[in-house]
Amino acid sequence: MPLYEYVCQGCGTRFEVLQRVGAGASEATCPKCGGREVAKQYSTFASAMAGAAGSGSLPCGASSASSCGSGGFS
């Protein structure tokens, strides 16, 4: 089951809910205030590459993102 991120429209609390695929916001409840008016948020994911030069380094091995190039994107 995927983990979805929501924000409560009443108190502003951000929280995560483990839900089945296709479940909507109507099935989520704010853990802080119990509010049912919540909005699904878009979130990013993090990944690690094997063989990376160290903690906090970029996949290209550069010290700054501007030195990495476009990564194949333009």
The C-alpha angle 69, 71, 73, rounded to 5 degrees, equals 105
Is 1 contained in some domain?
A: yes
Radius of gyration of the chain (CA): 18
Of 33 and 51, the structure prediction assigns the larger pLDDT to 33
pTM confidence score: 0.56
Is 28 contained in some domain?
A: yes
Confidence of residue 2 (pLDDT cuts 50, 70, 90): confident
pLDDT tens digits for range 52-68 = 555 555 656 656 656 55
Is 54 contained in some domain?
A: no
Tell me, what CATH number does 38's domain have? 2.20.28.10
Counting the structural domains of the chain, the total is 1
Domain containing residue 24: 1-43
Q: From CA 8, how far away is CA 17, in angstroms rounded?
A: 12
Q: From CA 19, how far away is CA 23, in angstroms rounded?
A: 6
Is 35 contained in some domain?
A: yes
